[in-house]
Structure 1
Amino acid sequence: MTKDYQDFQHLDNEENDLHRLQRGPPPSPSLFHRLCSGSRLLLISLGLSLLLLVVVCVIASQNSQLRVDLLALRQNFSNFTASTEDQVKVLSTQGGSVGRKMKLLESQLEKQQQDLSEDHSNLLLHVKQLVSDLRSLSCQMAVLRSNGSERTCCPINWVEYEGSCYWFSSSGRAWTEADKYCQLENAHLVVVTSWDEQKFVQHHMGPINTWIGLTDQDGPWKWVDGTDYETNFKNWKPEQPDDWYGHGLGGGEDCAHLTSDGRWNDDVCRRPYRWVCETEMGKTN
């Protein structure tokens, strides 16, 4: 019995050995298991941590450099902006100065042109007057030779201009008295119908109040020789005529006169102003 049991156990061991040979040697551990072993896993973790630390340091260094570059760029931009504003202010100041100088030069040039124009006008007036005086002198000589029977020029002390004769007073009278004086000379107070005639009268009278043949004593404004007032030349001062009653002399202002600058004004007819007589050439006695 014992022997049979031993034989059976021996047989069982042989079967087990046979099964082991058929299965082969036991498999070796996988790569993952080996990596995951304690010491290796620690080394890998340390390596990854070190790599991550290096990456973080690099990024932090680059970020710091970018901040420095950004601050430098902002500073440069701020300096550029300030410099540009200063240059713009300087250019604006220079531009304003140049503009003022240009306006001053334009004003001076315009004034010189006006002066030249006035000088030219006065020169032409003097030339015309010279020619008129020469013609009047020749005419006077002819009148003397004909014993006064023929007169085709202005009398002595009268000035010829554009076919008319003018006499300029050197004293003052009321408008009505001045008008009567002209009538006695077979003339009338001057009737100004153009800018050229205005300049002619101003040239001879100067900056002095001077009666002209314009009045509204009998209604609307009229020229003494019947020249139409509404359609002809006018040279009133601004806001004139105003028929002012505040002068304290009684009544309004019904007679026109030239002022110091040549423009017209209505005034009290009783004021003693100088005057100018006018008549057609050859009509004066």
Structure 2
Amino acid sequence: MGKDYEDFQALEADDGDCTPRGTAFPPQQFAWQRLCAPPRPLCALLALCLGLTVGTIALAVSGSRLGAEQRGTQGVLGSVNQSLSTELVGLARSMHTLEDKLTHVAASLDETKEKSIQAQQRLEEQVGVLRDSLNSLNCDLIELKSNGSRPGCCPRAWERFGRGCYWFSTEQKTWEESNLYCQAQDSHLVIINTREEQLYVQRRTVPLYTWIGLTDKSGQWRWVDGSLYTMDSRSWREGQPDEYHGHGLGGGEDCIHLHDDGLWNDEHCSRLYRWVCEEELKA
């Protein structure tokens, strides 16, 4: 009886123990659990591969979107560049057209200015001719009233400028011969004292070589009336006077003439040039 009780207790103890024993079946596992079962490094590698794959796909999708956006941006920029290029070409053409017009306008202005200067010169010449004619008529009237004298008037065929009378030759003589001719007319070779007188004589002589009353035969530059000349480079040609000795005529260059541009040049006195006589206006 006692043994039976012990056996019964052992049986109850066995019935209360739920732990599988012996050949009992293992617990059921899912596929991913079996895949990630030990060894663990393989599981980590697979997870890394899976993560890289997903990341690559995400980057590819993102890159595709960026590429599409970039292509769209490039298209817009290309369109803008083409539009700007077209506008620049049009602007360049407009600038070229404007430059042509400005050049034409400038040329027209220069031509107009030149014509205006020429017209002014012709007008001044005509006014001068009329003034001379009026003075001549007035002097003729004075001569008639005074029985042959012409007070305040220039001799016939002479021109009046300021307070002087001037005669311009049509022949050619040496400087000495020209000076003697003027002395025979109770005058002298022209003495230029002012800039206005210089311009007046220039207008009447250019482009002809013309003697004036200046010489340095005495070793100093003097006018024919004996007065000393003060050097003014504005009246002279560049590099003059140079006292040139290479002309083969002997000596230097002691006499002054107006060159073809109206400026002064020293020359050998034996040259044959035209000349200008001057006398003071008689009261």
TM-score, normalized by length of structure 1? 0.73
Distance between the aligned counterparts of 2:71 and 2:193, measured in 1?
82
Specify the SS of the correspondent of 1:141: helix
- Residue pair 1:192, 1:233 contacting (<8 A) in 2 also: no
Structure 1 residue 129: deviation in Å? Answer: 3.5
Residue of structure 2 in register with 1:5 after alignment: 3
Superposed displacement of residue 210, structure 1: 0.8
Equivalent in the alignment of 1:178: 178
Asked if the contact 1:194/1:233 (under 8 Å) is kept, the reply is no
CA distance in 2, matches of 1:196, 1:114: 23
**In the superposition, relative to structure 1, how do residues 109 and 61 fare at CA in structure 2: closer, same or farther (>3 Å)?**
same
Counterpart of 1:31 in structure 2 is none
8 Å CA contact 1:136, 1:160 repeated in 2: no
1:261 and 2:261 are equivalent in the alignment: yes
Three-state SS of the structure 1 residue aligned to 2:279 is strand
Relative distance call for 1:11 and 1:43 in structure 2 (3 A) is: closer
Contact map agreement 1:190 1:277 (CA 8 A) in 2: yes
Deviation, 1:93, is 6.7
Correspondence for 1:39: 31
Between the aligned partners of 1:185 and 1:151, the Cα distance in structure 2 is 17
In structure 2, distance between residues paired with 1:110 and 1:140 = 44
Offset of 1:40 from its aligned partner? 5.0
Counterpart residue number, 1:166:
166
Secondary structure of residue in 2 paired with 1:276: strand
Match in the other structure for 1:189: 189
Q: Give the conservation status (yes or no) of the 8 Å contact 2:221–2:228.
A: no
- Structure-1 residue corresponding to 2:60: 60
Unaligned runs of 5+ in 2: 20-26, 37-42
How far apart, CA to CA, are the structure 2 residues paired with 1:275 and 1:106?
42
> Residues of 2 paired with 1:97 and 1:240: CA distance?
49
In structure 1, how many angstroms separate the alpha carbons of the residues matched to 2:233 and 2:154? 25
Per-residue CA distance 1:36-93 (angstroms, 9 max, x = gap): 93325479999xx999867754642441343354356446646755774676477457
Structure 2 CA distance for partners of 1:238 and 1:92, relative to 1, 3 Å: farther
Sort the Cα spacing of 1:104 and 1:61 in 2 relative to 1 into closer, same or farther, 3 A: same
Sort the Cα spacing of 1:261 and 1:108 in 2 relative to 1 into closer, same or farther, 3 A.
farther
Distance 2:150 2:205 in 1: 30
SS at match of 1:136: helix
How far has the Cα of 1:152 moved from its partner?
2.0
Aligned to 2:153: 153
Aligned CA distance change for structure 1 residues 270 and 103 (closer, same or farther; 3 Å):
farther
| Structure 2 Cα separation of the partners of residues 171 and 139 of structure 1 | 27
* Aligned 8 A contact 2:257 2:267 in 1: yes
Asked if the contact 2:167–2:276 (Cα under 8 Å) also holds between the matched residues in 1, the reply is yes
Q: Distance in 2 between matches of 1:173 and 1:91?
A: 67
Label 1:241 to 1:232 Cα distance change in 2 as closer, same or farther (>3 A): closer
Relative to structure 1, is the Cα distance of residues 231 and 118 closer, same or farther in structure 2, using a 3 angstrom cutoff? farther
Q: 2:237 & 2:275 partners in 1: Cα distance?
A: 19
The answer to whether 1:281 aligns with 2:281 is yes
After TM superposition, give the deviation of residue 111 of structure 1 in Å.
5.0
User: What secondary structure sits across from 2:235 in the alignment?
Assistant: coil
- TM-score, structure 2 length as denominator? 0.73
Aligned to 1:179, what secondary structure does the other structure show? Answer: helix
Return the alpha-carbon distance in structure 2 between the equivalents of residues 228 and 99 of structure 1: 56
Looking at structure 1, the residues matched to 250 and 86 of structure 2 have their Cα atoms a distance apart, in angstroms, of: 69
How much has 1:155 moved relative to structure 2? 1.0
Give the Cα separation in 2 of the matches to 1:12 and 1:230.
159
